[in-house]
Amino acid sequence: MLALHAGFALAQEPRVPYVPTPQEVVDRMLQMAKVSANDYLIDLGSGDGRIVVTAAKKHGARGFGVDINPTRVAEAVENARKSGVTGKVAFYPRDLFQT
């Protein structure tokens, strides 16, 4: 993205808002993709981890997610713990554009 400042174009960092995917959409996405225990899922901008956690819990998949917001990463780790899938998933505080 570019912004104009005093007649000069300045590069801006890309920004992506946090918009949680409704659980029913997550369930349908994973079903349509035929996710199974043979799959490894990567979610860039994983937020609270619901896609990766659901893939592990309901389909046996493994995977990881990254999010730039440490609060979201902490939520994802807690959601994985509550769902009993900490051995199948991991979450990292990283920039999705760098990952």
Give residue 1's pLDDT.
42
Contact 63, 87 (CB under 8 A): no
Using an 8 Å Cβ cutoff, are 42 and 92 in contact?
no
Please, what is the average pLDDT of the chain? 89
pTM above 0.85, yes or no: no
Q: How many of the other CB atoms lie within 10 Å of CB of 4?
A: 8
Residues β-bridged to residue 41: 63
Q: Is 20 helix (H, G, I), strand (E, B) or coil?
A: coil
The per-residue pLDDT for 19 is: 87
93 DSSP β-pair partners: 67
SS3 state at 54: helix
